[in-house]
Amino acid sequence: MLKTVKDFILKNNINIDLPVICAVSGGADSVCLLHILYDLGYEVILAHVNHHKRKESEIEAIKMKELANKLNIPFELLDYHYDGVDNFHNDSHNARYDFFRMISKKYHTNIIATAHHSDDQIETVLMKILEGSNLYGYGGIAVESFDGYYKTIRPLLCVSKEEIYNYAKQNNYEYFEDSSNQEDIFLRNRIRHHIVPLLKKECNDLNKKIIEYSIQAHEAFDFIRKNSIDYLNNNHNKIEYNSFKVLDIALKKDIISLLLEKNNIRKNNNIILQLLSLLDNNNGYKEFSLESDYLFIRAYDYAYIDKRKCNQENSIKINIDDIGIFCNKYKFYFSKNKPINNAKYIKLCYNNLELPLKIRNRISGDYIEALAGTKKISRVLIDNKVPLNERDNVPIILDNSGKILWIYDYIKSKDVYNQKHNGDLYLICEVIYE
């Protein structure tokens, strides 16, 4: 098996040029992984997490430290105690992430090795098919993945669970079994115990076939994903209708998938198809509710994801020496000097001002006396293609008599326009965040 893993590492161009943080639970898989990487001459660090979920956990932690001492390699332990506040799996995942980050800094490496094998791959592919996913998900576990800092490698994907057990027994490796792996309450265990054995009866080399399938799926995904990244980067994380509609369907689906991933929104094929359907029509404004108060917004020529905005009435008042913050986004203040940055402004005559000015959301019936005549605020926003979910958050600036002077970023009143040459005071608005 040593040669099989070595050849797999070379064939898949897995570059191991730094110490390897080897995640060792104490099971046969991870114990064999540690020994194989060690025997192949790589510099390894044994990283073990004691979750304190089973009475055997204490013994396993002691034995893993003894194994590290026997091999004369570094041993790192995370003594994890679940506090019951967050979901256990989420909380423990975050704890492990922080643990590996600490180790990586200590040993100046970013390579993590996990002991996923080809039977894990079969189970994962089947689970993804049952749950629905994108091309990357259907491909199962990647041989190597990179999150921008950590590189996770999986050198045992080329061997089966049976081969690992045989290798451990041949070499007299001490390992431990997790009793929860036998429970059928988890989908993965039900697939492992009942479905995979039937498939293996039908296909003698199922493990090999699934690995080949996985590699090809990930190769295809990598090509498509590169184009998706380029598209969203070029369009500032928005979908531009005219350029999007001519793309291949596979690329369209992955662009949507990537947009969801960028906002940490759970996705499946059904959601992707619904959003794709929303993009088929180039008319007007549409919304699709996503999890965590996110919206997929189809607004005229663009589509994007944004947080659902709270549209309660907001208003502030400002005098000459005040600084007013509106909706935690816009900062208003007066100045005798024109702004030198990209801030928006209107020029006013101090002697004609009725103070304090009021800044608020639009309300029904609002209108402005513009240079070209009276205009309803709602029509101004529609004509400027302001998305529906943003219209109630555009600042409306009024004087103390209630006359609208400015619809921020869109139109000034006739009175303000006529003051642009003889005005002596600027009302400036800076955007605090985008």
Structure tokens at 428: 């400036």
Average pLDDT over residues 159-172: 96
Q: What is the pLDDT of residue 96?
A: 83
| Phi, psi angle pair for 79, to nearest 5° | -90, 90
pTM, entire model: 0.64
Average pLDDT over residues 3-9: 95
Distance CA 176, CA 29 (A): 10
Mind listing the pLDDT tens digit for each residue in 117-143? 999 999 999 998 888 777 888 899 999
- For 61, the 3-state DSSP assignment is helix
Domains in the chain (CATH in brackets) are 2-117+137-187 (3.40.50.620), 235-307 (3.30.465.60), 315-431 (no CATH)
CA 108 to chain centre: 26
Question: Which spans in 108-205 are helix H?
Answer: 118-131, 135-138, 161-170, 187-190, 196-202
**Beta strand ranges found along 257-328 (DSSP E):** 285-289, 294-299, 302-307, 315-318, 323-326
Identify the weakest region by mean pLDDT among 182-196, 220-234, 235-249, 299-313: 299-313
Structure tokens at 95: 């704890």
Distance (Å) of CA 82 to CA 11, 79, 99, 222, 298: 40, 10, 15, 37, 42
Average pLDDT over residues 3-7: 95
Tell me the three-class secondary structure of 325-379, residue by residue: EECCCEEEEEECCCCCCCCEEEEECHHHCCCCEEEECCCCCCEEEECCEEEEHHH
Q: Which amino acid is at 169?
A: K
Q: How confident is the model at residue 249 (pLDDT cuts 50, 70, 90)?
A: very high
> What's the distance, Cα to Cα, between the start and end of the chain in Å?
55
Distance CA 393, CA 125 (A): 45
Q: What is the pLDDT of residue 51?
A: 75
User: For residue 381, how many C-alpha atoms fall within 13 Å in the half-sphere facing its CB?
Assistant: 25
Q: How confident is the model at residue 180 (pLDDT cuts 50, 70, 90)?
A: low
Q: What is the pLDDT of residue 257?
A: 92
Distance (Å) of CA 352 to CA 286, 320, 347, 348, 397: 43, 13, 12, 8, 15
Mind listing the pLDDT tens digit for each residue in 407-429? 999 999 999 988 877 888 999 99
Q: Which amino acid is at 382?
A: I
- Which DSSP helix (H) or strand (E) runs through 12? none
Mind listing the pLDDT tens digit for each residue in 264-285? 888 878 888 889 988 886 666 7
Distance CA 32, CA 35 (A): 5
If phi > 0 it is left, if psi is from -120 to 50 it is alpha, else beta; for residue 251 that is alpha
Structure tokens at 108: 């100046």
pLDDT at 342 over 60: yes
pLDDT at 81 over 90: no
